[in-house]
Amino acid sequence: MLAYYLLDTFSKDPRGPIAALDLNNYNLIFITVGMFLHWRPKRFLKAVSQSVPATGGVLIQFPFYAIIFGMIVETGINKWLADLFVMITTKETYSLLVATYSTVLGVFIPSGGSKWVIEAPYVLSAAIQHQVNLGWVVQIYNAAEALPNLINPFWMLPFLGILHLKARDLDGKPTPSPSRLTPGTSGPTSIPPPGS
């Protein structure tokens, strides 16, 4: 499938086959070759996380957002969603729909920038049809985009990589009881007695 896509892209690009090699095609080639060489997705993800532990998850995640964006824009889903948003809302209720929709989508696509790239074509198109101020729509989006971070804290990923932790390391372990934190007790949570 990759070979067909690349041949199709290189043969149809009016600038020529070499000019068709852009960042998106390089990403597609490297991810596909990497997955092919590792043969199983789990081994591929393990190899990526071992080679670039601080950013491995993000390196794999973002190209898939680009794929979602391409599918929405190039297949007509963009126009269909914009028409749907216009059909089920009025000028007064459109902002509420954007806020709700953006919050729900934010749980599944936790990066605000990637999510905006996916949403912007149809959200702004519907806003134009309703004659809603585009600045207002962007502000509603920004406010609603922050809500899923309470559930899915995407902002924490760089810190986890730097500290060599996994998300499960932050949750699910019992917290020390106050009796284990008294001065002079032994163990990993001991506090030296005052004056020592």
Sorting pLDDT into bands at 50, 70 and 90, what band is 196? low
Distance (Å, whole) CA 112 – CA 102:
10
Confidence at residue 43, expressed as pLDDT on a 0 to 100 scale: 92
> Has residue 159 been placed in a domain?
yes
Distance (Å, whole) CA 17 – CA 129:
39
Distance (Å, whole) CA 132 – CA 98:
12
> Has residue 185 been placed in a domain?
no
Q: Which of 120, 122, 118, 138 is nearest to 83 (CA)?
A: 122
- Do 26 and 106 sit in the same domain of this protein? no
Q: Taking residues 70-96, report their average pLDDT.
A: 84
> Has residue 96 been placed in a domain?
yes
pTM for this predicted structure = 0.54
- Do 16 and 46 sit in the same domain of this protein? yes
- Do 36 and 70 sit in the same domain of this protein? no
Helix axes 94-108, 112-130, angle to 10 degrees: 160
Number of domains in the chain: 2
> Has residue 188 been placed in a domain?
no
Q: Taking residues 53-75, report their average pLDDT.
A: 77
Q: What is the pLDDT of residues 117-161, one digit of tens each?
A: 778 888 888 899 899 899 998 888 888 888 877 766 666 666 677
Backbone angles phi, psi at 33, to 5 degrees: -65, -45
Mark which of 28, 51, 74 sits at the end of a domain.
Answer: 51
On the question of pLDDT at 21 being above 80, the answer is no
> Has residue 182 been placed in a domain?
no
> Has residue 147 been placed in a domain?
yes
DSSP letter, residue 64: H
Sorting pLDDT into bands at 50, 70 and 90, what band is 181? very low
Q: Taking residues 88-95, report their average pLDDT.
A: 89
Name the token pair of 29. 């080639």
Distance (Å, whole) CA 175 – CA 96:
40
- Do 147 and 73 sit in the same domain of this protein? yes
Distance (Å, whole) CA 1 – CA 49:
26
User: Which domain range does residue 132 map to?
Assistant: 61-168
Q: Which residue has the tokens 């709700």?
A: 100
> Has residue 176 been placed in a domain?
no
